[in-house]
Structure 1
Amino acid sequence: MTTDELSAPLGRKPVRKRKFRLPFSATQTLATAFTLFLGVFGYYAIFTENPLGGEPVARLTIQPDQLAAPASPPDGKDKEKDKAAAASEAAKAPPADPAGQRTVTIIDGSSGARKQVVVPSEAPEDKAGAEQAPSGAVNPKLLEQTRHGAVPIAADGLKPFTAYAAASEVDRERVASVPTIAIVVGGLGVGAAKTNDAIMKLPAAVTLAFTPYGADAAKLVERARAQRHEVLLQVPMEPFEYPDSDPGPQTLLTSVSAEQNLDRLYWHLSRFQGYVGIMNFMGARFVTTDTALSPVMREAAKRGLGYLDDGTSPRSVAAALAAGQTVPYGKADVSIDAVPTALEIDRALGRLEALARENGNAIGTASALPISIERISQWAKTLQNRGLALVPLTTAMLKSKSG
């Protein structure tokens, strides 16, 4: 029993002192403060004009006597003073930027400190094709407008096959008596990183084949041609397993009319420009059907394009149709990365060498796998020492025709 209970009157309970409490909780206080902050911030954001959006601002005070006044003709002494002042200012001025560079002033937002930084005036990869050899340019005379856009056309005795070829007649004469190998790396244009690796890491003599489905295929093709690669367009064609195995939109089919297939072909031809020819993408059924492939081959002849058969269909009629239309033709002898391991790729490259020595010429195809790019690049470095030459596809096609 406490002292308070002993001193309290009988029959009455002691009165406990009540603790003082705020009429609101800490959570309510924080919520109210946050609401007030948002209200003030919103007011200034909506009703206060600040066109610079918080950027650093420098304020200068100009006195009335600093305003420009009509200049009086300077006398001799004034001229000397002006020359001395100009020389002094020139000495203080920063040196001119080197060619291809520019100086940027960076201002620290908190301290206001300034720092001069020299940067390239233009990223090298953005200049691809802009100041390179003329091989990166597309000849407007070799274009015809369709409802899908511009497509290649032969005109005035000039053909895209020769106009966009990477090798000259002199280059072809140099390798006339040497066993030659052409390699075509396909599946490019979808995936910029993969495509850029192929463009920059593979030797220039390797021909690059682009699908028509890339989001920025035209720019990548321009970059490839600026690096002296020849370019092919891969045209999706019907395989035996279609539609379970579908090459993509606008696939050329054996079940539609020739007019429909030509319209689809124009869609593919218009995706980008600067290619020397076309090759089948899949298409095991299509390339074995004479009535389906004949209009395509006639169109290739009309437009001055070559045709590469990927070699996957032994019953392909492409060779006979190309000969009938005098279309430059080639057929792949070896699929280099059918088994995508370093060992098997090296073996496939060895088979290409053997075929080139036996026949004077051989053509291989590959996809843009990192391992394929790496092995082909390493193999090509020592090819000349073994008495062979890596050549663009057009050179191989013309050599096969002449042989």
Structure 2
Amino acid sequence: MDRRTFLAKSAAFLLGGLFGSGTPVSAELFPPAANPPRIALIIDDIGFNLKRAERFLDAEIPITFSVLPRVCWSVESAIALHARGHEIMLHQPMEPFSTEVDPGPGAIFVADRPECIHQVVAENIATLPHVIGVNNHMGSRYTQQPQKMGQALHAVRNRGLFFVDSVTTWHSTAYACARQMGMSTIRRDLFLDNRREVASVMRQMNRLRNLAHKHGSAIGIGHPRPDTAEGIMRFLDTPESRDVAFVYISQMIDRL
């Protein structure tokens, strides 16, 4: 299903034309809004298992998939998900605080030389097809270092891509650095699945909806887990999902 179809379905939800399995819903119950609050969903950690990513296609809403570099299904996942109309980002691994946690191949570290950081990020971008933006994977240590973030972001900016701060630490400087560099940038509002339970994911989706109503838009990040996909789809079957519009992350950034 291509992007136009997804957006048409999102508009149909807002107009109250469909509900759940296709039962008509009264337009009086869900009146159309001129500028409905917007939600962008990012699913991180794509690249290890394409089938887990494909579960999210059943939601039939715009979703941005962030793909890890240099893992077994990175390239195939990017190609397949883009072919279904979705946006693709690079999920750039960055150094965490814990030395016991491996951020994975293609990672950058605080101790790396500037030229090494630039080369690694540039190569990660080049190896993934259809990449239009970047967000950080882990990086609780790395993103707290403004100078190191600037070195990484130069490679992103030089290729005309936007950056999404995953906010893996509340002390992250990534968003502020990107703004100072004049980049298109934004940061996530909440994670959907810190608790791996369908009911918890549904609660987080409701929190995301409330944030969208309060601020006009909200960004949620999830992971390719069965409970996450199920929680999102169950939320879409509730009346609460009808008064927001689901959009791609690039559409959120365009309005900054």
Number of the residue aligned with 1:305: 161
The 1:343–1:195 alpha-carbon spacing in structure 2 relative to 1, beyond 3 Å, is closer
Correspondence for 2:146 among 290, 312, 326: 290
Number of the residue aligned with 2:14: none
Q: Match of 2:246, as an amino acid?
A: L
Separation in 2 of the partners of 1:208 and 1:383? 26
Number of the residue aligned with 1:355: 211
User: Cα distance, 1:284 vs. partner?
Assistant: 0.7
TM-score normalised by length of structure 1:
0.54
User: Cα distance, 1:276 vs. partner?
Assistant: 1.4
Q: Match of 1:329, as an amino acid?
A: T
Q: How many residues align?
A: 231
TM-score normalised by length of structure 2:
0.83
Number of the residue aligned with 2:248: 392
Is it true that 1:191 corresponds to 2:28 in the alignment? Answer: no
Tell me which of the two structures has the higher relative contact order, counting C-alpha pairs closer than 8 angstroms and 6 or more residues apart. Answer: 2
The 1:327–1:234 alpha-carbon spacing in structure 2 relative to 1, beyond 3 Å, is same
Q: Match of 2:51, as an amino acid?
A: A
Q: 3-state SS of the aligned residue for 2:82? A: helix
The 1:193–1:288 alpha-carbon spacing in structure 2 relative to 1, beyond 3 Å, is same
Give structure 2 stretches of 5+ with no counterpart.
Answer: 12-31
Is it true that 1:275 corresponds to 2:131 in the alignment? Answer: yes
Is it true that 1:222 corresponds to 2:117 in the alignment? Answer: no
Q: 3-state SS of the aligned residue for 2:150? A: helix
Q: Contact 1:178 / 1:388 at 8 angstroms: preserved in 2?
A: yes
User: Cα distance, 1:267 vs. partner?
Assistant: 2.6
Q: Cα RMSD between the aligned structures? A: 2.3
Separation in 2 of the partners of 1:275 and 1:204? 19
Correspondence for 1:233 among 79, 83, 90: 90
Alignment of 1:94-243 (within 5 A): 177-198=35-56, 200-242=57-99
Q: Match of 1:196, as an amino acid?
A: E
Is it true that 1:261 corresponds to 2:111 in the alignment? Answer: no
Q: 3-state SS of the aligned residue for 1:276? A: strand
Structure number, greater radius of gyration: 1
Separation in 2 of the partners of 1:262 and 1:309? 18
Give structure 1 stretches of 5+ with no counterpart.
Answer: 1-131, 136-165
Q: Match of 1:188, as an amino acid?
A: I
User: Cα distance, 1:385 vs. partner?
Assistant: 6.0
Deviations 1:231-265 (A, max 9, x none): 111011001113x2110133201112101111211
Separation in 2 of the partners of 1:373 and 1:357? 23
Separation in 2 of the partners of 1:377 and 1:326? 36
Separation in 2 of the partners of 1:311 and 1:202? 25
Q: Match of 1:389, as an amino acid?
A: A
User: Cα distance, 1:283 vs. partner?
Assistant: 0.4
Deviations 1:49-72 (A, max 9, x none): xxxxxxxxxxxxxxxxxxxxxxxx
Is it true that 1:248 corresponds to 2:104 in the alignment? Answer: yes
- % identical equivalent positions: 23
Correspondence for 1:345 among 201, 218, 221: 201
Separation in 2 of the partners of 1:175 and 1:392? 19
Separation in 1 of the partners of 2:218 and 2:174? 18
After the TM superposition, which segments of 4 or more aligned residues of structure 1 sit over 4 Å from their partners? Answer: 381-385
Q: Contact 2:235 / 2:241 at 8 angstroms: preserved in 1?
A: no
Q: Contact 1:191 / 1:214 at 8 angstroms: preserved in 2?
A: no
